[in-house]
Amino acid sequence: MSAIRDMVQIGPHRLYLGDAYAIRPILGWMDADVMDPPYKFKAKGAGNMRKARVATRMIVEQQLDQGFDHRIINPLLCGAAVVFCHNDQIPEVAAHLKGNFRRFILGGWSKNNPMPVANKHYLYDTEYYFHAWSRGFEPQGSLAEKRRFVSASVAPAKKFNHGTVKPEPVMDKIMTNIAGRTVCDPFMGTGSTGVAAIKAGLIFTGIEHNPDHFATAVTRVTQAYEAALAKA
Ligand SMILES: C[S@@+](CC[C@H](N)C(=O)[O-])C[C@H]1O[C@@H](n2cnc3c(N)ncnc32)[C@H](O)[C@@H]1O
């Protein structure tokens, strides 16, 4: 049986419904893989408090707290990789990138409106991402665009029925630092990377295994493509 359950072509952009680990290797070379894979963290507990936190509840329900196989970040298939990760995944993701790419930085999204919960920890007000690159795929952009951190508000989880939608200003900033023309997001979710890539004039390929999120991504990427066409 094919790993590809569906493929939707939107202009030069392609969205695949299916398993990232089976599909990403057969797509071949991309200039950048930009991914927001399932985080690995302790999302259980907090009782009634957690019920009140819509995004965290969705993360648990959709099993987005189980981590991912790092081997999907493959320097033989991409010139650079942008990888979001939870605070607790930083050591293992850094170790993988250090062994596979020439340089990397730890950047992040500083949340303007974090959940007002800290317990015996810090506020959950930062989401980290690594940008790693091989020779020839060094970070692009002006000095201002080369800041490591970007501030933005949390997108409402209910809007796309997804607990980890990345805000447009964050994804737009990341695109300013990408070298090359082709961007793949193997854990596309609702298509936030695709929307930003198309706005930046790049060619996008996305993979998502959840049919509901895939449908949302198709709608969002189609709208971004039509808006780019209208602007051209
Ligand atoms: C953290 S979310 C990405 C959210 C995305 N950045 C956005 O803004 O909408 C990770 C996504 O990967 C999908 N996913 C998890 N494992 C997958 C797999 N093996 N193959 C394809 N998609 C997968 C999940 O369904 C989820 O939508």
pLDDT in tens, 76-123: 999 999 999 999 999 999 999 999 999 999 999 999 999 999 989 999
Q: Given the CA of residue 192, which atom of ligand 1 is nearest to it? A: 8
Q: Given the CA of residue 216, which atom of ligand 1 is nearest to it? A: 9
**Does residue 49 carry a pLDDT above 90?**
no
User: Per-residue pLDDT averaged across 32-60, rounded?
Assistant: 74
Residues 6+ apart with CB under 8 A from 7: 14, 15, 16, 17
**Does residue 45 carry a pLDDT above 70?**
no
**Does residue 53 carry a pLDDT above 70?**
no
How close is the Cα of 162 to the center of ligand 1, in Å? 10
How close is the Cα of 220 to the center of ligand 1, in Å? 15
- Mean pLDDT across the chain: 93
Mutate which of 73, 185, 208, 218 for ligand 1 pocket (most atoms within 8 A of beta carbon): 208
Integer Cα distance of 122 and 59 in angstroms = 20
How close is the Cα of 165 to the center of ligand 1, in Å? 10
Integer Cα distance of 193 and 76 in angstroms = 21
Confidence of residue 162 (pLDDT cuts 50, 70, 90): confident
Name the architecture of domain 4-231. 3-Layer(aba) Sandwich (3.40)
How close is the Cα of 191 to the center of ligand 1, in Å? 9
Integer Cα distance of 171 and 106 in angstroms = 15
Q: What pTM did the predictor assign? A: 0.93
User: Per-residue pLDDT averaged across 123-152, rounded?
Assistant: 97
3-state DSSP call for residue 123?
coil
Q: Taking CA 201 as the corner, what is the angle to CA 199 and CA 206, rounded to the nearest 5 degrees?
A: 75
Q: Which two tokens stand for residue 203?
A: 């060619």
Integer Cα distance of 11 and 200 in angstroms = 15
User: Percentage of the chain surpassing pLDDT 90?
Assistant: 81
User: What's the pLDDT score for residue 111?
Assistant: 96
Residues with CB under 6 A from ligand 1: 19-21, 36, 38, 64, 162, 164-166, 187, 189-190, 192, 207-210, 213
Confidence of residue 163 (pLDDT cuts 50, 70, 90): confident
* Residue boundaries of the structural domains of the chain: 4-231
How close is the Cα of 232 to the center of ligand 1, in Å? 31
